[in-house]
Amino acid sequence: MTPLSIVPRLLRVASVLLAYQLDELVDAAHLYRPLKLLRPFLPRPRNDVKRLPRGERLRLALTELGPIFVKAGQVLSTRRDLVPADIADQLSLLQDQVTPFAGSEARAIVEAELKASIDQLYARFDETPLASASIAQVHAATLHDGREVVVKALRPGIAVRIARDVKLLRSLGELAQRWHPNADKIRPLDVVAEVEKMLENELDLQREGANASLLKRNFDSGVDLYVPAVHWELTSARVLTLERVHGVSSDDITAIEAAGIDRKALAAKGVRVFYEQVFRDNFFHADAHPGNIWVDPTRPAEPRFIALDFGIMGSLPEADQYWLAQNFIALFERDYARIAQLHVAAGWMPAEVRLDELEAAVRTVCEPYFTRPLSQISLAELVVKLFQTARRFELTLQPQLILLQKTLLNIEGVGRMLDPDIDIWAVAHPVLKRILRERYSPRRMLHDVRKRLPEWLHQAPELPELVRDALLQVRRGERRYVVDPLALQLERDSARRLHRLLASGLLGSSLIVAATLFGTLASQHGIWPPAILGAAGLLAFAAGWPHSR
């Protein structure tokens, strides 16, 4: 039951939706249906509103309803596997700009958080904000050593207002979940949960500072991507102080050309930087619209991007990162059977799915695209359609993959804005293959072995018991076999590779332990067994490692 305290606000939401002729949304909610009787008494939609497309009407309505609904619309715009393209395009234009609060309040927040007066903290603090959003506001400042910085401060009382608005949004989500005819596809409660998580992260500016610090470390050369430095001594949960940077928005084509920057080279670099963030570092900027991705106009010979706003970052579980990379490679090479096998092997789909049917569905989506020149193929659009197709096969999509989908759309949009003829495939394919080659190279393998060896040695005594338990489960029928023959063969192959890895791991662990024990003798008597046993152990690991993938 919806609490009575929020009924007036629900009615306010409904009246705004009606004013923008979004009647189908009102009619779908049981609580709003009595408003049909009130329609004759409500102001009629303006003629200019009537002529607007539904996506634009929804965007304007969410803007009028306030910041929390803007956030919800931004999240919904990422669900292009669920939301019609015309609505998603309009929702992606939602801007989180609101009326600024007084600079004196920002000063008071900074002083309270950092426990010192503004004059002690900064040589100059400009009370006129550079930018103002629903969560925080940004002010220019100068340090006592002359360096320019920006100071981001949370809005006064924002945590309380966010909690109240999230409660309202959750109530709306529950209504939509119960009464909207397409609730199973839109999954409104999942959208609300994503909004809650996003807002929780954005309310902690120290977390945002840590995000910026890690991204800067990943691109420490600053050649391709520059990230402003964090001033930790002037940062807390409610205040963030960053190095001030200067640049032009990545969609300001006139300014980029005026700076003499090669737009084609810049666009290709943007695609490379995206794939490096996702597959090399497993830490990517998940809000990479042009307002947060600038271009440095002072480096025409070596163009680079400047990243801003690190409140929303993404990463993937290590296994998903691997499976996703392999899916991209298979997609680039049009290996549809492998795409189907990878989806099942990754656990993204039920094991009993018919692989031949899934392969045929993937082929049906992809083949029409490959009749076009590669420069005209939208990788982001193709991935969205693949997600839509995969949902028919009960695809389980994690929030991290949704963030990645959103970022892929943003990056491709920026790339095509800079260079309409960019061949995303030609740029991305070699970059991804190089990253995978480096990530799963013998040197990286040995590094991972050394890092994981203590854990393996600790768990080694338990392995025989785990194998015995698994065999007993099979014998008792507690494990369900895969019905489809292709999927069954895939499961058998995986089991063989697992057994080979376990055997190789146990042998390698034993030999390396033996090498360690011989080490003491070797240091005293100069004998050679440690080197041989150590090398043999690493070879044993190597024998099993590649086949475990």
Lowest mean pLDDT among 7-21, 106-120, 343-357: 7-21
62 and 22 in a common domain = yes
509 and 478 in a common domain = yes
What is the pLDDT averaged over residues 220-235? Answer: 95
Give the pLDDT band of residue 254 (cuts 50, 70, 90): very high
319 and 293 in a common domain = yes
Chain center to CA of 527: 53
455 and 353 in a common domain = no
Q: Is the pLDDT at 343 greater than 80, yes or no?
A: yes
> Cβ(304)–Cβ(225) under 8 Å?
yes
195 and 72 in a common domain = no
Q: Is the pLDDT at 5 greater than 70, yes or no?
A: no
Chain center to CA of 67: 22
171 and 270 in a common domain = no
Residue with the larger pLDDT of the pair 396 and 178: 178
Give exposure, 159-181, as e/b (b: 16+ Cβ within 10 Å).
Answer: eeebeebbebbbbbbebbbeebe
374 and 457 in a common domain = no
Kindly report, residue by residue over 281-313, the tens digit of the pLDDT. Answer: 999 998 888 889 999 999 898 999 999 999 889
Chain center to CA of 243: 25
Query: Which residue is catalytic, options 287, 296, 309, 419?
Result: 287
Name beta bridge partners: 243.
Answer: 149
Kindly report, residue by residue over 433-486, the tens digit of the pLDDT. Answer: 888 888 777 777 777 777 777 877 777 777 777 777 777 776 676 654 444 444
Lowest mean pLDDT among 105-119, 261-275, 345-359: 345-359
Looking at 59, 74, 94, the residue that finishes a domain is: 94
DSSP 94-131: -----PPPPHHHHHHHHHHHHTS-HHHH-SEEEEEEEE
Q: What is the C-alpha separation between 110 and 302, in angstroms, rounded?
A: 38
4 and 124 in a common domain = no
Give the pLDDT band of residue 7 (cuts 50, 70, 90): low
Residue with the larger pLDDT of the pair 328 and 106: 106
Give the pLDDT band of residue 533 (cuts 50, 70, 90): very low
285 and 166 in a common domain = no
Looking at 411, 439, 467, the residue that finishes a domain is: 439
Lowest mean pLDDT among 242-256, 395-409, 505-519: 505-519
112 and 62 in a common domain = no
CA distances to 77, 123, 214 from 316, rounded to whole Å, are 21, 42, 15
pTM: 0.72
Alpha-helix residue ranges (DSSP H) falling in 346-483? 355-366, 379-391, 399-418, 424-439, 442-459, 463-475
Q: Known catalytic residue: 423?
A: no
What is the pLDDT averaged over residues 180-192? Answer: 69
Kindly report, residue by residue over 101-126, the tens digit of the pLDDT. Answer: 999 999 999 999 999 999 999 999 99
225-226 vs 305-307, strand pairing mode: parallel
Looking at 245, 265, 284, the residue that finishes a domain is: 245
426 and 293 in a common domain = yes
Domains in the chain: how many in total? 4
The predicted pLDDT at position 258 comes to: 94
State the chain's mean pLDDT as an integer.
Answer: 78
Element (H, E) at 306: strand 305-307
Q: Is the pLDDT at 195 greater than 90, yes or no?
A: no
375 and 234 in a common domain = no
Q: What is the C-alpha separation between 21 and 185, in angstroms, rounded?
A: 23
Q: What is the C-alpha separation between 63 and 98, in angstroms, rounded?
A: 10
What is the pLDDT averaged over residues 18-27? Answer: 70
Domain with 228, as residue range(s), is: 96-245
CA distances to 30, 90, 467, 492 from 464, rounded to whole Å, are 58, 57, 5, 19
Q: Is the pLDDT at 497 greater than 70, yes or no?
A: no
